[in-house]
Structure 1
């Protein structure tokens, strides 16, 4: 693992310094990028020197961050709506349960019926 990291660091240094003749900028960013649209014919060392490239990278990153924020906010709003709906259904269930208890109180058992008959007689 250490040897692999050292080898990777050495090859990256050679790429950045321009000492490697096998430098292929088209494959460098395709391998690292998530989408195929971002193809830059630039060495990694030149990225930090060019203010134009830095501004492009920053604008893309800020746009991605804003999209993530909006998506997160949208999901949070959906969760709130679901929570309200769940709360209403629970309240409705409680109301039904309360009504059942009231109905039970209204119902009379055998003892109550006997007492009522005795009072009539």
Structure 2
């Protein structure tokens, strides 16, 4: 599995770690608990850790977009953690179109992102 999902009820923070190519199976295994976590807490934070990224199956684009649009108002902060150079500018550009606070961190700053 190239996508792992975990959650911390005490901080209302869900963490997604990516390593490789995201398949539809990976997405489906994470999205159901992610939606339940968001529904349970009302307002949540997310940490995305991108260790490596080899793309994703196109079949997750539309479901991912629908999840984002339905839940964006419930997401307080997002931290993207990666040392992959091209992810930072894309993350910053996406942040301009979101009401959610979005911040980029290097892998060496993982503890700061978690805080």
Higher relative contact order (CA 8 A, sep 6+): 2
Task: Bin the TM-score by the shorter chain.
Answer: under 0.3
Structure with greater strand share of residues? 2
Q: Normalising by structure 1, what TM-score?
A: 0.19
